[in-house]
Structure 1
Amino acid sequence: MNKDFIDALNQLAHERNLDKEQLLASFEEALEQAYERNVEPGKQIEVHVDPESGEIDVLVVKRVVETVEDPGLEMSLEEARELDPTVEVGMEMELPVDPERFTRIAVQTTKQVITQKIREAERALVFNEYKDRAGDVITAVVSRTDNKRNVFVDLGRGEAIMPPKEQIPGERYMVGMRLKVFVMKVELGNRGPSILVSRAAPELLEYLMRQEIPEIADDTVEIKAVAREAGQRSKVAVVSRNPNVDPIGACIGHRGARIQAVTGELQRERVDIILWDPSPREFIRNALSPAKVGTIEVNSETGEAKVTVSNDQLSLAIGKGGQNVRLAAKLTGFKIDLVASEHISDLDAALQAAASRVHDAPIATDDAKRAAFDALFSAAPSAAEEGDAAERVGDEA
C-alpha cells in the first residue's frame, strides 16, 4: 500500500461522485472479509488504512481470558501479559498480521467485495438524490432503448425507465435526445433504485403551462383540472382569480403563441382550454365544448350526469372515437350519458323567438335564463306547441 493507491482512491471517489471516507471504509471492510475467509479463518480481523500514506495495518483481535476455549478468538492472561503487563481478563488484544500473507484468492475476494461496495454506494447515492424528486419534472437525455420498447433516460446521476404506456404515442426517441419527463415514482429494490418517469402524465402538461403562461405561474389563473390523452388531445379547466383577467385568453396568448409553445413540447398535442365553473351543470356544459348541449341532469350522489344533445351536435359532443365525452368525464369527474333529442333544434328557435318578444323586458339573471331554457327542454313540446312555449317564457319574464 502506498501513496499511489490513495491517489487512485481519490480519483475513483471523484469520478463516481462518492464520499472518500466512505470508499476507504468500504475498502477496509473488504480486506477484513478477505482475511477472515482466506488468510485467518475463524479469527476476528481489523484493517486500518492510513488516508495519507496508504500504509495498511492488519490486526487479529483476541479477548483475554483465564481459560482459552477458542484459540482463534481468545488468548490466555499469561500469554497476553508477555506482550503487555498491564492487561486484565476481559480486555482485547490487537496482534499484527503480516500483509504479505495475502494470497491470490484473498486478492480476488477483496476485488469482488470492494466492487460490490462501490455499486451499493452508487445506488444509495442515486436513491438519496432522487427519492424526494417524485412529482417533479426533470430534463433528461435518452440513453438507450430495449426490445420491449422501454426507453431509458439519463437524469444526470442516475438512469430512469419510461415504459411504453408512459410514452407519447407516435413520438420517436433517439439516443441523445433531450426531453422533459415527469418523475412518477422512486423506489429502492434489491437491484438498486428504480426511477419511473413519464411523458404521458397530465402533470407534465400542467408544468409546461406554468412555465409558458405567466398568469398561471403567479397564480392569477388557476388550473382546476386536467384530462389528457397523450399525443392526441387534452382538456384543461382554468379559472381566474382576477376579474379583469380572461383565463382562456391568458392561456392561449396572442395568436395562440402561448399554447403553441406548450403543444410544441408535446408533439403538437391539441389542448382545449375550458372555463371552470363551480356549478357542476355548467362545468359539464363547458367541458363538452365545442359541442352545444341542451339540458343537463346532475346526480351528485352517484356522480352521473344525463346530457340532452341535438342530433346535429351529437357526433361533435361524442368526438372522434368518443374522445370528447371521455375527456369531459375525466375533467369533471362525472359519468356523462349523452341522450339525443330531435326537438332541441326546434326548441332553440322557440327560445330565440321568446327572447325577441321579451326584448323590452329581459330576463334579470343568468339563472332565470337557464331555468327558462331548461323548462323548454324538459317540456319537449311538439312543433304546434312551440309558439305557446315561447309565449310563456315571455310572460314569465
Structure 2
Amino acid sequence: MSKELLLVVDAVANEKGVPREVIFEAMEAALASAAKKRYPDEDPDIRVEIDRNSGDYETFRRYEVIADDGEMESPFFQMRLMDALDDDENAQVGDYLEEQIENAEFGRIAAQAAKQVIVQRVREAERQQVVDAFIDRVGELVTGIVKRVERGNVYLDLGSNAEAFIPRDKTIPRESHRVGDRVRGYLYEVKSEIRGPQLFVSRSAPEFMMELFKLEVPEVGQGLVEIKGCARDPGDRAKIAVVAHDSRTDPIGACIGMRGSRVQAVSNELNGERVDIILWHENQAQYVINAMAPAEVQSIIMDEEKHSMDIAVAEDKLSQAIGRGGQNVRLASKLTGWQLNVMTQDQVTAKSEAEQQAALALFMDRLEVDQEIAGILVQEGFSSVEEIAYVPSAELLAIDGFDEDIVEELRARARDALLTEALAVEENVEGPSQELLELDGMDENTAYALLERSIRTLDDLGDLAVDELIDIEGMTEERASQLIMAARAPMIARLEKGG
C-alpha cells in the first residue's frame, strides 16, 4: 500500500502540475475522512500523517483540551483539563492530545471518498496557482484563444490551465468572437474564490487603449511620452491626452506614427475605433480647448464651484462641437473631468448676462444694498450670498473702495439672510413653482424629482446642463435639453427686452 500511495502521489502531481506536498495533504485528508466513517455517530477529529519517503502512514484521534468549567461541545473531540493531565502532565487549555488508532482499511468506499477529496484539493491548488501567476499582472495586457462564447461573455484560454473571462459589458459593441480567435485584453481583476471565473479581462476599458499605445509607441513605453488620460465610446471613438517630458519629442506625432501606422494599429485592435490624440495642458481651460478638437472654441467661462465650463463656438460649428449624439462633448468631458456646456457665442453671452442680472437682483434683495454695491460684487465674481458670508474677509477687503466696516456689514447681512432662509425652509418646505409645473414638456413627477435637487424655479432649471438631468428616471438627453432651453427662454426674452 505504501509504495502504491507514493506512485499515486507522483502520478497526480506530474499530471496536474502541482507540488507533491499538495497531493500528500490531499491524501492525508482523504484517509482521515475514511477513518471517520468508523465512528458514524461521533464526528471525531482525526489526523493522518504520511511518511513522505516510505509512504507509510499513521492515524491519530485528537482531543482539544478545555477548561474544567468550560462548556463542552462534544466529548468525542474535547476533554477537560483534569482528564488531560492524567495522560500528559504538561497539558494546557487549548492544546490537543492525540491517541494513535488503527489505520482505516482502504476499501472501495474509502477509495471513492479519497478520490473526491484529492480531486477537490487538486482543483483548489490549480486555482491558487492561477492566482499566484496572475495577481502581479493586474493592469497588464493578456492574450488568449477563445474557448467559448456564452450569451456574449467570452472565455479565453491563456495556457497553463488559466482561463480568462471577458464579461459582455466589457467587450467592444458589435464585435464578434469565434472559437479559436486570438484575443487580447486588459486584466483588471483576479479573484481567488473556489468557484467561478478567476481572471477578469476588459476590452472596453480606457486602460486597454492606454496599454496598447504603450505597446505600439516606444516613446510611451520608455516614459518619454505620458498618456495623461483616456475616454472611450468603445468601438466607435476615443480621445487620449498626451504630454512629452522631453521638449525634443512631439507627443502627438509619436503616437500617430509614420503615415498613421501606430494609431492605426491601435484602432485595428479596437474594431476600427477612431482615436483623437490631443495635447494635455496643465491649464485646465486650455486642456478643455484641446479636448474639444476638432471643434474650435471661441471662449470659455469657468465655474470652479460647479466644476463646469460654458464653451462658446461659432453657430455653424455647434453641431460639430457637440458631435453625433453628443459624443464629442461627452468624451471631452470624460477626458478632462469637467462638466462642459457647449453653446453659441450669443447663448453664452445671454446666459452670462442673465446670470449677472440674477446675481445683481439677488444681492439687492437679500443684502439690501443699492445697485452700485451689488454691481461691484457681481463684477468681482461673486454670485451667491453664501460666498459673501463665508469667504475670507481678505477677499472682500481687496475690492477697491471696500473697508473693514463695509465688509463686516456685508458679511453680517449675508449671514442674517441665510439664517432667515433656513428658518423659513424649516417652517414651510415649498413645492415646485407654478411656472415650473406649467413649463412645456414638464410633468408633476419630473418637477418633484427636480425639487429633490433643489430645483424649484425656471431660473434654477435654466442654470443646469443636460448631464445634470439625465440621471432622473425616464429622462433622455433630448428631453433634458428641451426642458432647459424652454426654461431659459423667459430669461433671454427679458434680457432682450431690457436691451
TM tier, smaller: 0.7 to 0.9
Query: Is residue 140–residue 186 contact of structure 2 (8 Å, CA) maintained in 1?
Result: yes
Query: Is residue 294–residue 310 contact of structure 1 (8 Å, CA) maintained in 2?
Result: yes
> Which of these residues, 253, 270, 274, is aligned with residue 278 of structure 2?
274
Structure-2 change in CA distance of 1:98 and 1:291 (3 Å):
closer
**Residue identity matched to 1:152:** Y
Partner of 2:204: helix, strand, or coil? coil
2: CA distance, partners of 1:172 / 1:32: 50
Deviations 1:114-159 (A, max 9, x none): 222222222222223333332222122221121x321112233422
**Residue identity matched to 1:97:** E
Structure-2 change in CA distance of 1:254 and 1:44 (3 Å):
closer
Query: Are residue 158 (structure 1) and residue 156 (structure 2) matched?
Result: no
Structure-2 change in CA distance of 1:26 and 1:72 (3 Å):
same
Partner of 1:9: helix, strand, or coil? helix
Once the two structures are TM-superposed, the CA of residue 171 in structure 1 deviates from its matched residue by 1.6
Equivalence for 1:19: 19
Larger fraction in helix: 2
**Higher alpha-carbon deviation: 53-62 or 323-332:** 53-62
2: CA distance, partners of 1:164 / 1:71: 52
Superposition TM-score, scaled by structure 2 size: 0.59
Once the two structures are TM-superposed, the CA of residue 95 in structure 1 deviates from its matched residue by 4.2
Once the two structures are TM-superposed, the CA of residue 40 in structure 1 deviates from its matched residue by 7.9
Aligned residues: 325
> Which of these residues, 222, 228, 232, is aligned with residue 228 of structure 1?
232
1: CA distance, partners of 2:63 / 2:282: 77
In the TM superposition, what are the counterparts of 1:90-105 in structure 2 within 5 Å?
A: 90=88, 94-95=99-100, 97=102, 99-100=104-105, 102-105=106-109
**Residue identity matched to 1:233:** R
Query: Is residue 34–residue 104 contact of structure 2 (8 Å, CA) maintained in 1?
Result: no
Superposition TM-score, scaled by structure 1 size: 0.73
**Residue identity matched to 1:240:** A
Once the two structures are TM-superposed, the CA of residue 190 in structure 1 deviates from its matched residue by 4.9
**Higher alpha-carbon deviation: 89-98 or 185-194:** 89-98
Query: Are residue 175 (structure 1) and residue 179 (structure 2) matched?
Result: yes
In the TM superposition, what are the counterparts of 1:311-390 in structure 2 within 5 Å?
A: 311-341=315-345
Query: Are residue 49 (structure 1) and residue 54 (structure 2) matched?
Result: no
**Higher alpha-carbon deviation: 191-200 or 23-32:** 191-200
Partner of 1:131: helix, strand, or coil? helix
Partner of 1:200: helix, strand, or coil? coil
2: CA distance, partners of 1:11 / 1:197: 34
Structure-2 change in CA distance of 1:98 and 1:327 (3 Å):
closer
Equivalence for 2:265: 261
Structure-2 change in CA distance of 1:296 and 1:321 (3 Å):
same
2: CA distance, partners of 1:339 / 1:143: 49
Q: Unaligned 5+ residue runs, structure 2? A: 65-74, 80-85, 90-96, 349-499
Q: Which has the higher contact order (CA 8 A, sep 6+)?
A: 1
Structure-2 change in CA distance of 1:273 and 1:58 (3 Å):
same
Partner of 1:189: helix, strand, or coil? coil
Once the two structures are TM-superposed, the CA of residue 213 in structure 1 deviates from its matched residue by 1.0
Structure-2 change in CA distance of 1:107 and 1:317 (3 Å):
same
**Residue identity matched to 1:122:** E
In the TM superposition, what are the counterparts of 1:28-177 in structure 2 within 5 Å?
A: 28-38=28-38, 42=42, 45-58=46-59, 89-90=87-88, 94-95=99-100, 97=102, 99-100=104-105, 102-146=106-150, 148-156=151-159, 157-177=161-181
Query: Is residue 60–residue 98 contact of structure 2 (8 Å, CA) maintained in 1?
Result: no
Structure-2 change in CA distance of 1:15 and 1:298 (3 Å):
farther
Query: Is residue 27–residue 114 contact of structure 1 (8 Å, CA) maintained in 2?
Result: yes
RMSD of Structure 2 on Structure 1 (CA): 3.0
Structure-2 change in CA distance of 1:59 and 1:310 (3 Å):
closer
Structure-2 change in CA distance of 1:73 and 1:35 (3 Å):
farther
Structure-2 change in CA distance of 1:216 and 1:73 (3 Å):
closer
Q: Unaligned 5+ residue runs, structure 1? A: 64-69, 75-87, 345-397
Query: Is residue 150–residue 162 contact of structure 1 (8 Å, CA) maintained in 2?
Result: yes
2: CA distance, partners of 1:330 / 1:61: 62
**Residue identity matched to 1:90:** D
2: CA distance, partners of 1:213 / 1:111: 52
Query: Is residue 274–residue 286 contact of structure 1 (8 Å, CA) maintained in 2?
Result: yes
Structure-2 change in CA distance of 1:115 and 1:339 (3 Å):
same
Deviations 1:59-115 (A, max 9, x none): 55799xxxxxx79999xxxxxxxxxxxxx8328675452554x44333332222222
Structure-2 change in CA distance of 1:248 and 1:89 (3 Å):
closer
Equivalence for 1:209: 213
Query: Is residue 288–residue 325 contact of structure 1 (8 Å, CA) maintained in 2?
Result: yes
Deviations 1:219-248 (A, max 9, x none): 221211111111111101111222222211
Partner of 2:246: helix, strand, or coil? coil
Larger fraction in strand: 1
